[in-house]
Amino acid sequence: MSLEQEQSAREQAIRVLPPPPYPEPAPGRMEGRRAHFLNETDRQARSRSLRPTPRLRGRLGLVLGTVAAAGATVVVLGVGFGSTEAPRDIPPASAASVRLLEKAALAAATTPRTKVRAGQYSYVRTVGHTSVLSETGSGEMELLREDESMEQWTSVDGSERSLQRKDGKDDLLPGTPGQGNLNSPTYDFLAALPTDPGTLLKRIRDDAERNHGAGSGSTTGPDQEAFVTIGDLLRNGVTSSETSAALYRAAALIPGVDAVPDAVDAAGRHGVAVARTHDGERTEWIFDKSTARLLGERTVLAEDNAWGKAGTVVTSVALVSSGIVDKAGQTP
């Protein structure tokens, strides 16, 4: 990126984000972080050039599956995988996205600490939807929304079963979380993750390669899988301020991340987003423009396809409330 392009990107970021209510990162600190993620990107690119690129599965991609429902065919849009290998010449995260992620990290780092003890639960409430394609009686396909709103209580140490509430119905999820993992995190698991951004990203990428690598039939790519995983952890996992800040800074090391000036979450709240586009769909993390607090996440079609026109929101989840409570069923 030329100096002129860099300056233009910074000016765009300033226009997108008003002055935050917490300290602006010092110029030297921003330049240091940018140099760090550029060096990290070069290192990862060299590493990938020495071995076959793994084929990974992304949890928020498009998938086609059919079920019988009242004689109609319903095609669910939700968890799945992309169809093309991510190119290797993707540029580093844009200056505007790095700036926003650093502001989110600073906001997280200054959040008051909550004392957490064994026997408590992390609580998350989300509202949102995914999409389905349903065959009508005349044989045409129509896009329908399927509600995905819920509340969930997860044992902080993984010793008790998780309670999930959907449509007013409570269900104990099978098994206990145990020590937890990146797909089913507990508070204790997240708190034990490394807080150095480069080390944390390597941990997430290594997990992606083990579970979604060669032979899995998935072609999402490690960068997209890492971006999706970090988004899932930030949206669904209550964790310490240090871990949250590290996750945002790790995301700034992923190539192809960019900023979106305006995005709307499932609760109707406008914000600014960081996003990554893969295989015709754009995954967006939406933040409050004033506080840089995470509002939610959505998936938008970046190009026309069978699911709709470019710009169609196919999945959207808003984070409404979260915290630590003493018992399952309680709210903060």
Q: SS in 3 state form for the chain?
A: CCHHHHHHHHHHHHHHCCCCCCCCCCHHHHHHHHHHHHHHHHHHHHHHHCCCCCCCCCCCCCCCCEEEECCEEEEEECCCCCCCCCCCCCCCCCHHHHHHHHHHHHHHHCCCCCCCCCCCEEEEEEEEEEEEEEECCCCCEEEEEEECCEEEEEECCCCCCCEEEECCEEEECCCCCCCCCCCCCCHHHHHCCCCCHHHHHHHHHHHHHHHHCCCCCCCCCHHHHHHHHHHHHHHHCCCCHHHHHHHHHHHCCCCCCEEEEEEECCCCCEEEEEEEEECCEEEEEEECCCCCCEEEEEEEECCCECCECCCCEEEEEEEEEEEEECCCCCCC
Model pLDDT, residue 310:
95
Per the domain annotation, does 137 fall within a domain? no
**pLDDT digits 0-9 by tens, 175-225:** 999 999 999 999 999 999 999 999 999 999 998 887 655 566 666 788 999
Residue 60 pLDDT > 70, yes or no?
Answer: no
Per the domain annotation, does 330 fall within a domain? no
pTM for the model stands at: 0.75
Model pLDDT, residue 46:
36
Model pLDDT, residue 14:
47
Per the domain annotation, does 66 fall within a domain? no
- Which domain, by its residues, includes 163? 3-60+84-129+148-325
Is pLDDT larger for residue 7 or for residue 58?
A: 7
From 87-96, 176-185, 232-241, the region with the lowest mean pLDDT: 87-96
Per the domain annotation, does 72 fall within a domain? no
Domain count, the chain: 1
Per the domain annotation, does 18 fall within a domain? yes
